Chains A and B, each alone.
Chain A
Amino acid sequence: MAPQTRKAAIVGGNRIPFARSNGAYARASNQDMLTATLDGLVARFGLQGQQVGEVVAGAVLKHARDFNLTRESVLGSRLSAATPAYDVQQACGTGLEAAVLVANKIALGQLESGIAGGVDTTSDAPMALNEDMRRALLAVNSAKTLQQRLKALSGIRPGQLVPEVPRNAEPRTGLAMGDHAAITAAEWEIGREEQDELTVRSHQALAAAYDRGFFDDLVTPFLGLTRDQNLRPDSSLEKLARLKPVFGQGADATMTAGNSTPLTDGASAVLLASDEWAAEHDLPVLAHLVDAQTAAVDYVHGGEGLLMAPAYAVPVLLARNELTLQDFDFYEVHEAFASTVLATMKAWEDPAFCKDKLGLDAPLGSIDRAKLNVHGSSLAAGHPFAATGGRIIATLAKALHEAGPGKRGLISICAAGGQGVVAILES
């Protein structure tokens, strides 16, 4: 029995550059990308042949063959084959949730080390047979005689050949995530220009971080890609202003392909450990994972925006840790859409929302923008769903480490299904 808990250390991370859908990784599978990412982590920290406590990762878009994705990736990697692994999935929160799971086991003394990760491909995505075709083929499969089989086959119609392509849509509303975000953007009166400004800043910050070598020990090139394919260092308000809205309706339509994250392929991984394990292996401790919280909102009937759950999770986390929203040196608010970040911040500043929805006496207040996503975020890097959490944790942990001891960072990630995962890191 472990009588006390301890805080899990973040030793470092690795990711492959994120590629645009059907771009550099068009032919790479989830397993290819996750394996390469694990191998890059192994190379960085000299873990060849070593057993880490557990590898926890997941993907949002999965093939049937990906049933044991993480374990298969471990077996294909240079880690010891005696490293256990399991898959998790919490939509876009997968990567962060995986890290929380590993960190909690470390906190309880059940693990000394672990790797948390995530991967997604929208290029090599599973394509389902349409439902009629699937039924027809199942009938062929269960036919006992040649005659029965031919009869079953003769039932196939051309229309059944059209595959079902996975859509980035909410099953319960049929709306694309961007359409949901557009509703929220309109509700919170988020303007086009502030979204574009946030987008430009994301691109510039990410490019600057690359240029100063910040990502040298966070990223390992893959299949010839050395930087995120979506990154536009020369992004400007003028260029973004020329884009037509793709989500929302009429004059209120402010969301474009520029200020929304594109479909992306990629993978990330984070190495967590106890302080003792890190010391024994002469590995650094960049930061500790202090605490985490999830929340979910009823976006179907409850009148809340699909991506607003982090707004609810953060105050719970703050209260438990006796912190205010201003007690942080860095904020990592996942840029699913520029409008999501802006709506979330606006909600925290809004007395009515904070009182009525969050049950707080006073609003959480505003965030110092100079501390927000200082190394760029998903608008620039792209967002391979399950890989975003790992990207953010490693980036933030390194930033905290660079800033010196005692610095604090807040992570906020919204996820499909009306969910949110948030966490606090401290150096």
Chain B
Amino acid sequence: MSDWYRDFANSGFGTTITKQLGLPRPAQLRRYEPGQPLLPGPAVVGSAGEGRLRDEVTGLLRDAGVTVVSPVAADGSTDGERLAAVLLDATGLTGPADLAAAHDFLAPALKRLRPSGRVLVLADPPTGTSSPAQAAARQALEGLVRSLAKELRSGSTANLVHVPLGAEGSLASPLRFFLSGRSAYVDGQVLAVTAAELPSAADAEQPLAGKVAVVTGAARGIGAAIARVLARDGAHVVAVDVPAAGEQLAQVANEVGGTAVALDITGDDAGPRLAAQLVARHGGVDVVVHNAGITRDKLLVNMDAARWNSVMAVNLQAQLDLTQALLATDGALKPDARVVCVSSQSGIAGNRGQTNYAASKAGVIGMVRSWAPEFAERGATINAVAPGFIVTEMTAKMPLGTREVGSRLNSLQQGGLPVDVAETIAWLAQPGSAGVNGQVVRVCGQSLLGA
């Protein structure tokens, strides 16, 4: 889907006009393509306080083929190229005074940041300390990162990862995700990792090779993009959608070399039926993406029961029932399964006319958090992904004004693409993402709504 305004703003004439008028200048985002290096340029790693991650991070970067340069001097002089990523190890924070070091490191480095650059701050979770001063400093980072994300331009993003003591091994997968083009539309987020047993390193180009992934609502929109990205990463995709969408569903399945399953996920026996097929045909499933969703908007006072019930049935109850059926069927859900549940920004921020939809999508978050400990015990994970304004056939039908405003209300000043949601889901589905569990990852370009 084309973004005419972004393209215009990036044209020669458009650049002049938008600069003069002070209009937003949305950037072409750096998006992932197979074979791409992790970063298009060098990275710099700094620290605030005596952190414990700096060597680890430097090692990870070098392994990924990234050149790590020494911190930028206060006067902005460096030994060469502009930076593709700026990483701050803030695990050494003891109190607010240490934050000055964060400022001293970041300020000159950011002046040297390329377009679609990445700022990643690594810290201990504020809850992990009994010292109020230390908790304050750790929490302060959220304000810092979220503001920084709003200050960055040209498609650059800033995110924060909480790494508790002992969970250092879980960092590699989120680190790669946030630095890569896969996280193009993930901005201003705080992610927490936990200690987990990690599988031996997978093929970086085909992290899902040999895996079976089921995607609901795969006939079109975000679901079709998820199917494509999972297949690109090596998975065999079992694409599920309602029987009426069977023609498009078959096209998607054939495009990705997967299997089409026509099934209304709200049907009485949908869960057992799908579970049985996954066992018989595919020997169980490694990745489950609950993506199918519907909207039936109306102000609450005008909403009939049918609207309320159908949205709840598809968006929430079916996610619960399908997951339950997979858990209950022997051999259906692989022990180290990855379940990803599509929520929505509306479920976090609320949205006028969407009490039913927002309730269902908030419910998804509650479900994910509740199930996470049980999943962790079996070596599995369950996470939610909450898309913001994503440009689909659906949004293309919105009135121009609404669409234009809706798509600009975020730090990246543009709508996301289905592939952005898909990349985030595919990352959570990776074996190496074992330490990301019970999280809600927003793919919203740091939306102003519900931030």
Q: Using CB atoms and an 8 Å cutoff, list the residues of chain A in contact with chain B.
A: 36, 39-40, 42-46, 48-49, 78, 213, 215-217, 219-223, 226, 282-284
Please name all residues of chain B whose beta carbon is closer than 8 Å to the beta carbon of A40 when the two chains form the complex: 246-247, 250, 260
Sampled A-B contacts (14; CB under 8 Å): A36-B247, A43-B258, A43-B259, A44-B261, A45-B259, A213-B243, A216-B243, A216-B262, A219-B246, A220-B260, A220-B262, A223-B247, A226-B244, A284-B280
A40 to B258, CA, bound (A): 12
Query: Which of the residues A39, A42, A213, A222 comes within 8 Å of B267, measured between beta carbons?
Result: A213
Q: Do the beta carbons of A44 and B259 come within 8 Å of each other?
A: yes
B residues 217-269 in Cβ contact with A at 8 Å: 236, 243-247, 249-251, 253-254, 257-264, 267
Please name all residues of chain B whose beta carbon is closer than 8 Å to the beta carbon of A220 when the two chains form the complex: 246-247, 250, 260, 262
Q: Do the beta carbons of B243 and A215 come within 8 Å of each other?
A: yes
Q: Does B82 contact A (CB under 8 A)?
A: no
Please name all residues of chain B whose beta carbon is closer than 8 Å to the beta carbon of A44 when the two chains form the complex: 250, 259-261
Q: How far is the CB of A226 from chain B (nearest CB, A)?
A: 5
Please name all residues of chain A whose beta carbon is closer than 8 Å to the beta carbon of B245 when the two chains form the complex: 221
Nearest A residue (CB) for B280:
A284
A39 to B255, CA, bound (A): 11
Q: Do the beta carbons of A283 and B249 come within 8 Å of each other?
A: no
Please name all residues of chain A whose beta carbon is closer than 8 Å to the beta carbon of B250 when the two chains form the complex: 39-40, 42-44, 220
A-B pairs with lowest CB-CB distance, top 8:
A43-B250, A43-B260, A43-B253, A46-B259, A220-B246, A221-B247, A216-B262, A221-B246
Q: Do the beta carbons of B258 and A46 come within 8 Å of each other?
A: yes
Nearest A residue (CB) for B279:
A282
Query: Which of the residues A78, A213, A282 comes within 8 Å of B281, measured between beta carbons?
Result: A282
A87 to B48, CA, bound (A): 75
Nearest A residue (CB) for B252:
A43
Q: Using CB atoms and an 8 Å cutoff, list the residues of chain B in contact with chain A.
A: 236, 243-247, 249-251, 253-254, 257-264, 267, 280-283
Given A282-B281, A283-B281, residue A49 in contact with residue B243 (CB < 8 A): no
Q: How far is the CB of B143 from chain A (nearest CB, A)?
A: 50
Q: Do the beta carbons of A221 and B259 come within 8 Å of each other?
A: no
Query: Which of the residues B263, B280, B283 comes within 8 Å of A216, measured between beta carbons?
Result: B263
Please name all residues of chain B whose beta carbon is closer than 8 Å to the beta carbon of A283 when the two chains form the complex: 281
A-B contact count (CB 8 A): 66
Q: Do the beta carbons of B264 and A222 come within 8 Å of each other?
A: no
Please name all residues of chain B whose beta carbon is closer than 8 Å to the beta carbon of A226 when the two chains form the complex: 243-244, 246
Q: Do the beta carbons of B262 and A39 come within 8 Å of each other?
A: no
Please name all residues of chain B whose beta carbon is closer than 8 Å to the beta carbon of A78 when the two chains form the complex: 254
Q: Do the beta carbons of B257 and A217 come within 8 Å of each other?
A: no
Please name all residues of chain B whose beta carbon is closer than 8 Å to the beta carbon of A215 when the two chains form the complex: 243
Please name all residues of chain A whose beta carbon is closer than 8 Å to the beta carbon of B251 when the two chains form the complex: 39, 43
Q: Do the beta carbons of A222 and B260 come within 8 Å of each other?
A: no
Please name all residues of chain B whose beta carbon is closer than 8 Å to the beta carbon of A217 when the two chains form the complex: 261-262
Q: How far is the CB of A283 from chain B (nearest CB, A)?
A: 7
Please name all residues of chain B whose beta carbon is closer than 8 Å to the beta carbon of A48 when the two chains form the complex: 254, 257
Q: Do the beta carbons of B264 and A213 come within 8 Å of each other?
A: yes
Please name all residues of chain B whose beta carbon is closer than 8 Å to the beta carbon of A223 when the two chains form the complex: 247
**Further pairs besides A46-B236, A48-B254, A216-B262: 9, Cβ < 8 Å:** A43-B253, A43-B259, A46-B258, A220-B262, A221-B243, A226-B243, A282-B282, A282-B283, A284-B281
A78 to B263, CA, bound (A): 22
Q: How far is the CB of B263 from chain A (nearest CB, A)?
A: 6
Please name all residues of chain A whose beta carbon is closer than 8 Å to the beta carbon of B236 when the two chains form the complex: 46
Please name all residues of chain A whose beta carbon is closer than 8 Å to the beta carbon of B264 when the two chains form the complex: 213
* Residue of B243, B249, B282 most packed against chain A (CB within 10 A): B243
Q: How far is the CB of B86 from chain A (nearest CB, A)?
A: 44
Q: How far is the CB of A279 from chain B (nearest CB, A)?
A: 11
Q: How far is the CB of A169 from chain B (nearest CB, A)?
A: 35
A217 to B261, CA, bound (A): 7
Query: Which of the residues B244, B246, B257 comes within 8 Å of A46, measured between beta carbons?
Result: B257
A48 to B261, CA, bound (A): 15
A221 to B250, CA, bound (A): 9
Nearest B residue (CB) for A226:
B244
* Residue of A213, A226, A282 most packed against chain B (CB within 10 A): A213
Please name all residues of chain B whose beta carbon is closer than 8 Å to the beta carbon of A284 when the two chains form the complex: 280-281
A27 to B416, CA, bound (A): 38
Q: How far is the CB of A79 from chain B (nearest CB, A)?
A: 10
